[in-house]
C-alpha cells in the first residue's frame, strides 16, 4: 500500500496517463450518459462539452478530461452538442463521474429541460417557501423550507440569469 506522500507524488502521473489514453477512445468528443430517476436525457451520446454545477463551482468538461467525481449543487447542466447547439437543464443535485475513457455520467436527483420550466410558477413557489421558512417553528420545518428556498432561487437564477431573486 502506498503511503500518502508516495501516492501524492504518483497521482499527477496517473491522472496524465488516464487523460492521454482517453484520446484514443473517443477522437471526436465526450460520451455522455445523463439521467434522472424518471428519464434518461442522453444515453452514451457523443457531445462536445458539458458544463456542470459542481459544489466547488461550475466545471466545463471536455473529452480527455482527467477522471473526476463531484457532487452537483442545484444549478444548470449545459450540454454542447458536436454541432455546437446548446441544451440546458436545471438539476436539483446529484453526482457527476468523469471516466478515463472520455465518458461522463451525470446522475441528477431531478432534472428539467429549461424549455419546460414555468418561471412564474417558480417565483410563486419561492414566495411560498420563503413564507414557510419565516413561519417555521421546528427544526424539520425550517430545514425543509431552507431546501425549497435554495432550489427555487437556483431555478430562477439559472433560467433568468439574474442574481437578484
Cβ neighbours, 10 Å, residue 137: 7
Among the listed ranges 11-25, 89-103, 145-159, which one has the minimum average pLDDT value? Answer: 11-25
77's enclosing H/E stretch is strand 75-80
Identify the band that residue 29 occupies on the pLDDT scale cut at 50, 70 and 90: confident
- HSE-CB of 20 using CA atoms within 13 angstroms: 6
Mean pLDDT, the chain, as a whole number?
A: 85
Give, to the nearest 10 degrees, the angle between helix 139-160 and helix 119-135. Answer: 150
Cα–Cα distance for residue pair 26/19, rounded to 1 Å: 11
Residue 144 in this model has a pLDDT that exceeds 70: yes
Burial of 129 (0-12, 13-18, 19+ CB in 10 A): buried
- pLDDT band with cut points at 50, 70 and 90 for residue 73: very high
pTM here is 0.74
Q: Dig out the grid coordinates for 61 from the structure.
A: 468538461
Would you list the domain boundaries of the chain? 28-115, 117-160
CATH number of 28-115: 2.60.15.10
Taking only the tens place, the pLDDT of each residue in 74-129 is 999 999 999 999 999 999 999 999 999 999 999 999 999 999 999 999 999 999 99
Among candidates 100, 137, 106, 112, which has minimal Cα distance to 16? 100
Strand 86-91 relative to strand 111-113, pairing: antiparallel
Amino acid at each position: 500500500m502506498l503511503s500518502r506522500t508516495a501516492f501524492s507524488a504518483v497521482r499527477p502521473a496517473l491522472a496524465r496517463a488516464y487523460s492521454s489514453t482517453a484520446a484514443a477512445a473517443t477522437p471526436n468528443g465526450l460520451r455522455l450518459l445523463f439521467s434522472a430517476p424518471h428519464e434518461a436525457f442522453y444515453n452514451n451520446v457523443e457531445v462536445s462539452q458539458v458544463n456542470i454545477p459542481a459544489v466547488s463551482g461550475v466545471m466545463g468538461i471536455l473529452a480527455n478530461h482527467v477522471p473526476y467525481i463531484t457532487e452537483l449543487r442545484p444549478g444548470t447542466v449545459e450540454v454542447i452538442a458536436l454541432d455546437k447547439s446548446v441544451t440546458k437543464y436545471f438539476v436539483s443535485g446529484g453526482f457527476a463521474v468523469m471516466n478515463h475513457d472520455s465518458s461522463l455520467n451525470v446522475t441528477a436527483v431531478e432534472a428539467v429541460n429549461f424549455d419546460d420550466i414555468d418561471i412564474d410558477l417558480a417565483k410563486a413557489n419561492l414566495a411560498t417557501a420563503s413564507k414557510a421558512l419565516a413561519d417555521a417553528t421546528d427544526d424539520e420545518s425550517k430545514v425543509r423550507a431552507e431546501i425549497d428556498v435554495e432550489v427555487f432561487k437556483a431555478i430562477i437564477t439559472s433560467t433568468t440569469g439574474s442574481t437578484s431573486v
